[in-house]
Amino acid sequence: MIPVLAVAALLVAGAAFFLPLGKADAQSAKTDAENTILMETTKGPVVIRLRPDLAPKHAERIRQLTRDGFYNNVPFHRVIEGFMAQTGDGQYGNGTGGSQYPDLKAEFSATPFKRGTVGMARASSPDSANSQFFIVFDDASFLNGQYTVIGEVVSGMENVDKLKRGEPVRSPDKIISMKVAADK
């Protein structure tokens, strides 16, 4: 847990290391912490930077569910070699559930799906994303413009690489806990 906190502190205070924080810089650091997710997994820490500039409603949903504790002890139920690791079903843990909140309208962007990109999982309807998300292992440009990009892994991708594979995964790795850095 300490390494995750150290990374978060560096992300939040990075500007202060080089320059004194002015009023605008302090606000920027606070915003960065608000959009930084600290995910502790059974394989180690992963830090995700949310992109509310691309998908404001989806970023807000991830923050909301994180603060609700929804993602704690949730498995990575679908992990496909060379493609992605999917999690976020805090209802059933098998990819069939969502949250108590309504589905979200798509917020597609031109941002490409590449290694470390975090996207929202959905059913066949573009407007069916709810709580599940995935992290891409390699280039997944075939998803571009069809799924909502919500962020990117900024630290800990090596821990995502260690997740057990399967569809479904037998004895899956889990998110032990997830926090918004601003709440630390």
Position 120 scores a pLDDT of 98
Bridge partners, 86 (sequence order): 78, 134
Query: Considering its fold, how many domains does the chain have in total?
Result: 1
- Rounded Cα gap, residues 6 and 3, in angstroms: 5
Q: Are 64 and 180 in contact (CB under 8 A)?
A: no
Domain CATH number, residue 82: 2.40.100.10
Question: Structure tokens of 178?
Answer: 């997830």
DSSP H or E run through 39 = strand 36-41
Could you read off the pLDDT tens digit of each residue along the chain, which spans 184 residues?
Answer: 444 444 444 444 443 333 344 444 444 455 699 999 999 999 999 999 999 999 999 999 999 999 999 999 999 999 999 999 999 999 999 999 999 999 999 999 999 999 999 999 999 999 999 999 999 999 999 999 999 999 999 999 999 999 999 999 999 999 999 999 999 8
User: pTM of the entire structure?
Assistant: 0.85
Take residue 151 and report the two structure tokens written for it. 């962020």
Q: Which range of residues forms the domain containing residue 96? A: 2-183
Burial of 84 (0-12, 13-18, 19+ CB in 10 A): buried
- Cβ burial 39-70 (10 Å sphere, 16+ → b, else e): bbbbbebbbbbbbbebbeebbebbbebbeeeb
CA distance 32 to 28: 6
